[in-house]
């Protein structure tokens, strides 16, 4: 897209926002819902007549007008401290994506929403399938297969239920059954948080919190949209409430299409003319066998189906029980396993979950079970499993004056079984059913001295079945309000990654033929492998600079160690035969990262809200040693001499402009920018160009809460790749509608 075209798009957007800012409609305070009330802007509240404000206070049982302003402008969060507190008072660096942000963005999935906050690296692999990292440390150590680029450092949760992939880390986003329409907010913690949430909360935590607002009556919604490429999305929900009881049913069907019809083939499978090229899908069968099993639908990028049932009983704010259950089925094409044929592989999942939350006064109990069947590489034998994950946490919050004490206990059991999907007599990569077990005790103290200086300390002791060694993590924070408008904070924390099945249970042999040379590779497990860990120091500042400007800034420095890679010993067993013994070993490699993050929010004009954010970082690799990598010429020893790790972008940032006043027309525009990256793979150093992704979502409410909308994605028409060897990410326009019925009866 040319610069002139970009300017035209921006001019059109500004014109649209200026026009709609003048369209006003009177607020019906007698029929407004609590959700609508929470979306009122500060300007709207200030302009409302006193009698209307008093009506809102009466309807929603608020004690004063000040409480109303506080509820709208400074919402409560929970993830940073494990108890409700105001966002402004949080001792950690944290971002919040609210229900209003979610609805106005028009995002199709959760990773798209994460582009609305600072410090989160979001790269699209194929349409709707993403690589997500907090602040980076991705693709370390470099020079390996794409398998090792997965984010194994960030913990993702839904309503305190971990949704982590225990095969080799990372999150399979397509398997999350929750839809954007059913999310109350997303809270993102930056930095090590294993002391509160356990292993894998190394670079941070992404906590997805679903809607649980109690109602009296009936509410329902239907949302559907279709795009020009054939992508379509539909979701629906119904909520019933009476007294202290509430039930909600939600469902979604989504299918996204690829923006291209060709596949990247690795060079060692092609001749010198076509090596390292993208080939048409109808030529796949010339390069691999069982092509129909590996790529059953070459045009489809993602197919997702899900349904959830939530039951909620709440007698008081601190007394209730929440039961959630659901099922999902997904079928995608993305980058995960590197089969050395094509960069893309198919992944298919069918899973269900149950989640129980009980809270009474200061007691909180959570237990969840997730079970499913998963094929991580369609058409390639040995990568299909039955898996299960049980997780339970019991904690108690005791408060005495300015002291809060939170002790707790956690137990987790994970199993993978690859034997049931293998032919008789064959062994899989795990050799049957294998498991991981960890038990933990944790304690958090929170004390405020002289009503000003807030000190917190948290520690967690963890016992694993593998490795057979105790691990501990900690977090210390200090925050001090300079005045009622500004707060400074400091954090020092340590966290460790949890064990993965691939690290501790891989145990199989593979025979490969390279011309007239045969290679037998024996992959051996290492139960004594040390867990990766990170130490972080951070300074932060949060301030309301003026009536309509809020700023949050942070400086962070972290050190990560105990990376691991397979190391091999090659032995010649015949004239044309070799044996390679491979075992995972810890590396002396150390990653040091330093960066600054800044975000600013402001009311530009009446009903026009803007956010601007950016993160600058540099990652240095120290004690870089040689390590082994298998390719078509047996074993290649790779020496990475670069001290600066360029796979993590040096800058990520963007802005969001939203108009959502009392008029029938609303508009949202967001831009996400990611700088250049140089990815070191076994195929050499590959450059990924910088890219700006510009989206617009415009909605028109034609009757009550019914609306039509149009969403434009990637409107700069830049189809550059965002991830190495991945699909192009093109432009798409979607048209849709959202219908809502019912009112809660107060």
CATH code of 309's domain? 2.40.170.20
Specify the pairing of strand 517-524 against strand 564-572: unpaired
Domain limits for position 21: 1-70
- Residue, of 212 and 476, whose pLDDT is higher: 476
- C-alpha to C-alpha distance for 154 and 191, rounded to whole angstroms: 9
Q: How many structural domains comprise the chain?
A: 2
Burial class of 672 by CB neighbour count within 10 A (0 to 12, 13 to 18, 19+): buried
311 contacts 325 by C-beta, under 8 angstroms: no
Task: Give residues with Cβ within 8 angstroms of 52, minimum separation 6.
Answer: 27, 29
pLDDT greater than 50 at residue 745: no
When pLDDT is cut at 50, 70 and 90, the band that residue 485 belongs to is confident
Residue 306 lies in a domain: yes
**Domain match, 62 and 82 both:** no
Residue 540 lies in a domain: yes
When pLDDT is cut at 50, 70 and 90, the band that residue 417 belongs to is very high
Q: Which of 340, 263, 349 is nearest to 298 (CA)?
A: 263
Q: In angstroms, what CA-CA distances link 143 with 100, 136, 631, 637, 641? A: 42, 16, 12, 10, 12
Q: For the chain, how many residues are written?
A: 746
**Domain match, 128 and 154 both:** yes
Please compute the mean of the pLDDT values over residues 727-737 and round it to a whole number.
93
Residue 291 lies in a domain: no
Task: Give residues with Cβ within 8 angstroms of 530, minimum separation 6.
Answer: 467, 469, 562, 564, 586
pLDDT greater than 50 at residue 269: no
**Domain match, 26 and 81 both:** no
Q: What's the pLDDT score for residue 110?
A: 95
Specify the pairing of strand 154-158 against strand 204-210: parallel
164 contacts 646 by C-beta, under 8 angstroms: no
Task: Report the helix count and the strand count for the chain, using DSSP H and E.
Answer: 10, 42
533 contacts 495 by C-beta, under 8 angstroms: yes
Angle at 253 between CA 251 and CA 258, to 5 degrees: 155
Q: Which of 260, 267, 266, 302 is nearest to 281 (CA)?
A: 260
**Domain match, 36 and 124 both:** no
86 contacts 72 by C-beta, under 8 angstroms: no
Q: What's the pLDDT score for residue 306?
A: 96
In sequence order, the β-bridge partners of residue 466 are: none
**Domain match, 55 and 110 both:** no
Domain stop point among 70, 94, 126: 70
Residue 282 lies in a domain: no
**Domain match, 380 and 393 both:** yes
Q: In angstroms, what CA-CA distances link 414 with 199, 385, 408? A: 13, 13, 20
- Residue, of 584 and 711, whose pLDDT is higher: 711
Residue 271 lies in a domain: no
Percent of the chain with pLDDT over 70: 84
Other Cβ atoms less than 10 A from the Cβ of 425: the count is: 5
627 contacts 638 by C-beta, under 8 angstroms: yes
388: left (phi over 0), alpha (psi -120 to 50) or beta: beta
Listing DSSP states for 542-582 in one string gives: EEEEETTEEEEEEEEEEEEE--EEEEEEEEE-SSSEEEEEE
Q: What's the pLDDT score for residue 150?
A: 85
Q: What is the pLDDT of residues 532-543, one digit of tens each?
A: 999 999 999 999
**Domain match, 479 and 367 both:** yes
SS3 letters across 205-235: EEEEEECCCCCCEEEEEEEEEEECCCCEEEE
- Tell me the backbone φ, ψ of residue 428, rounded to 5 degrees: -90, -170
In sequence order, the β-bridge partners of residue 169 are: none
Please compute the mean of the pLDDT values over residues 312-341 and round it to a whole number.
89
65-74, 366-375, 537-546, 719-728: segment of lowest average pLDDT: 65-74
Q: What's the pLDDT score for residue 1?
A: 46
Residue 292 lies in a domain: no
Listing DSSP states for 697-711 in one string gives: EEEEEEETTEEEEEE
- Residue, of 423 and 208, whose pLDDT is higher: 208
In sequence order, the β-bridge partners of residue 436 are: 414
- The structure tokens listed for 571 are 């032995």
Domain stop point among 70, 95, 125: 70
In sequence order, the β-bridge partners of residue 77 are: 85
- C-alpha to C-alpha distance for 563 and 596, rounded to whole angstroms: 25
- Report helix angle 50-59 to 65-73, nearest 10: 80
**Cα 566 to the chain's mean position, in Å?**
27
- The structure tokens listed for 94 are 């944290």
- The structure tokens listed for 675 are 């700088």
Residue 578 lies in a domain: yes
Largest alpha-carbon pair distance within the chain? 94
531 contacts 194 by C-beta, under 8 angstroms: no
pTM: 0.88
pLDDT greater than 90 at residue 667: yes
- Residue, of 12 and 690, whose pLDDT is higher: 690
End-to-end CA distance of the chain: 52
When pLDDT is cut at 50, 70 and 90, the band that residue 201 belongs to is very high
219 contacts 740 by C-beta, under 8 angstroms: yes
SS3 675: coil
Q: What is the pLDDT of residues 72-90, one digit of tens each?
A: 445 677 877 887 888 788 8
pLDDT greater than 70 at residue 65: no
- C-alpha to C-alpha distance for 185 and 426, rounded to whole angstroms: 47
Q: What's the pLDDT score for residue 507?
A: 84
Residue 691 lies in a domain: yes
Percent of the chain with pLDDT over 90: 50
**Domain match, 230 and 101 both:** yes
Domain stop point among 39, 70, 101: 70
- C-alpha to C-alpha distance for 574 and 222, rounded to whole angstroms: 67
**Domain match, 466 and 522 both:** yes
68-82, 322-336, 450-464, 628-642: segment of lowest average pLDDT: 628-642
Contacts 24+ apart (CB under 8 A), 231-238: 231/127, 231/128, 231/255, 231/256, 231/257, 231/732, 231/734, 233/108, 233/734, 233/736, 235/179, 235/181, 237/181, 237/182
Q: What is the pLDDT of residues 4-44, one digit of tens each?
A: 444 444 443 443 333 333 333 445 555 666 556 655 655 55
**Domain match, 83 and 51 both:** no
Q: To which H or E segment does residue 739 belong? A: strand 732-741
Average confidence score pLDDT of the chain: 84
**Domain match, 53 and 78 both:** no
**Domain match, 373 and 456 both:** yes
């Amino acid at each position: 897209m040319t610069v002139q075209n970009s300017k035209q798009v921006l001019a059109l957007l500004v014109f649209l926002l200026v026009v709609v800012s003048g369209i006003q409609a009177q607020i019906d305070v007698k029929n407004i819902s609590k959700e609508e009330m929470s979306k009122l802007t500060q300007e709207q509240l200030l302009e409302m007549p006193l009698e209307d404000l008093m009506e809102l206070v009466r309807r929603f049982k608020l004690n004063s007008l000040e409480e109303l302003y506080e509820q709208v402008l400074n919402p409560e969060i929970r993830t940073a401290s494990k108890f409700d507190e105001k966002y402004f008072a949080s001792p950690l660096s944290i971002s919040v994506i609210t229900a209003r942000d979610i609805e106005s963005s028009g995002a199709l999935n959760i990773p798209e929403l994460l582009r609305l906050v600072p410090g989160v690296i979001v790269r699209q692999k194929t349409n709707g399938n993403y690589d997500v990292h907090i602040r980076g440390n991705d693709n370390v150590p470099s020079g390996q297969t794409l398998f090792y680029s997965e984010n194994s450092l960030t913990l993702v949760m839904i309503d305190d239920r971990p949704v982590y992939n225990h095969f080799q880390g990372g999150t399979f986003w397509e398997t999350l059954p929750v839809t954007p329409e059913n999310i109350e907010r997303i809270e993102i913690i930056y930095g090590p948080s294993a002391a509160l949430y356990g292993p894998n909360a190394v670079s941070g935590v992404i906590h997805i919190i679903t809607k649980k607002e109690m109602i009296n009556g009936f509410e329902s919604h239907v949302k559907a949209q279709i795009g020009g490429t054939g992508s379509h999305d539909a979701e629906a929900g119904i909520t019933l409430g009476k007294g202290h009881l509430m039930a909600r049913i939600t469902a979604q069907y989504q299918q996204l299409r690829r923006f291209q019809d060709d596949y990247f083939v690795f060079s060692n499978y092609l001749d010198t003319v076509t090596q390292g090229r993208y080939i048409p899908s109808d030529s796949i069968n010339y390069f691999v066998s069982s092509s129909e099993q590996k790529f059953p639908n070459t045009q489809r990028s993602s197919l997702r189906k899900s349904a959830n049932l939530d039951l909620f009983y709440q007698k008081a704010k601190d007394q209730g029980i929440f039961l959630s259950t659901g099922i999902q089925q997904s079928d995608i094409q993305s980058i995960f396993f590197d089969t050395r044929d094509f960069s893309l592989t198919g992944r298919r999942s069918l899973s269900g979950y149950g989640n129980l939350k009980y809270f009474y006064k200061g007691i909180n109990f959570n237990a969840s079970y997730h079970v499913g069947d998963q094929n991580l590489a369609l058409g390639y034998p040995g990568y299909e499993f039955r898996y299960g994950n049980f997780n339970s946490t019991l904690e108690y919050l005791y408060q005495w004056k300015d002291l809060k004490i939170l002790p707790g206990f956690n137990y987790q059991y994970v199993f993978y079984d690859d034997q049931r999907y293998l032919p008789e007599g064959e062994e899989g990569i795990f050799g049957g059913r294998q498991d991981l077990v960890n038990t933990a005790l944790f304690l958090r103290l929170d004390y405020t001295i002289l009503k000003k200086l807030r000190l917190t300390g948290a520690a967690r002791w963890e016992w694993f079945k593998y490795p057979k060694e105790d691990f501990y993590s900690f977090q210390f924070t200090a925050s001090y309000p300079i005045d009622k408008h500004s707060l400074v904070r400091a954090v020092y924390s340590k966290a460790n990654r949890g064990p993965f099945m691939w690290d501790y249970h891989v145990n199989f042999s593979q025979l490969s033929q390279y011309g007239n040379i045969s290679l037998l590779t024996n992959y051996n497990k290492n139960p004594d492998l040390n867990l990766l860990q990170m130490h972080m120091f951070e300074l932060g500042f949060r301030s309301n600079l003026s009536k309509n400007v809020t700023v949050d800034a942070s400086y962070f420095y972290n050190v990560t160690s105990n990376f691991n890679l397979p190391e091999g010993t090659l032995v010649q067993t015949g004239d044309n035969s070799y044996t390679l013994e491979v075992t995972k070993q810890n590396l002396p490699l150390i990653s040091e990262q330093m960066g600054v993050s800044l975000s600013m929010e402001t009311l530009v004009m009446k009903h026009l809200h803007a956010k601007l954010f950016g993160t600058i970082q540099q990652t240095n690799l120290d004690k870089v040693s040689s390590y082994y990598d298998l390719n078509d010429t047996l074993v290649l020893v790779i020496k990475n001499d670069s001290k600066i790790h360029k796979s993590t972008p040096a800058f990520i940032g963007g802005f969001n402009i939203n108009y959502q006043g009392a008029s029938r027309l609303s508009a949202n525009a967001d831009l996400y920018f990611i700088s250049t990256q140089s990815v070191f793979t076994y195929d050499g150093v590959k450059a990924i160009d910088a890219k700006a992704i510009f989206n617009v979502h415009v909605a028109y409410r034609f009757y009550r809460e019914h609306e039509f909308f149009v969403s434009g994605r990637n409107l700069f028409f830049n189809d550059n790749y965002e991830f190495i060897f991945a699909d192009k990410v093109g432009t798409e326009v979607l048209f849709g509608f959202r219908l809502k019925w019912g009112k809660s009866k107060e």
